[in-house]
Amino acid sequence: MTPSLGQGGYQAVEGGVVLAHHAAPGGDLAAGPAGYSAERVPRTTDIAAGPPRPPASRT
């Protein structure tokens, strides 16, 4: 199952919060994009993959 439109909106808000955290004043601006990617890629990959599939039934 793919994410719904509501999930996409939530991901945008969540991404904005993470981006703001990594671009905070006084932070390392050069390291910001790498920190953002390191934090967001695993989360967005899990969402895009969808829920775990049940094991195949054996007949």
Could you tell me if residue 58 is inside a domain? no
Is 59 a member of any domain? no
- Residue 28 included in any domain: yes
Is 30 within a domain? yes
Q: Is residue 57 part of a domain?
A: no
Note whether residue 22 is domain-resident: yes
In a domain, 35, yes or no: yes
Counting the structural domains of the chain, the total is: 1
Burial of 35 (0-12, 13-18, 19+ CB in 10 A): middle
pLDDT of residue 2: 57
- Which domain covers residue 14, as residue numbers? 5-49
Which pLDDT score, from 0 to 100, does residue 28 have? 78
**What residues of the chain score a pLDDT lower than 70?**
1-3, 59
pLDDT, tens only, 42-58: 988 888 887 777 777 77
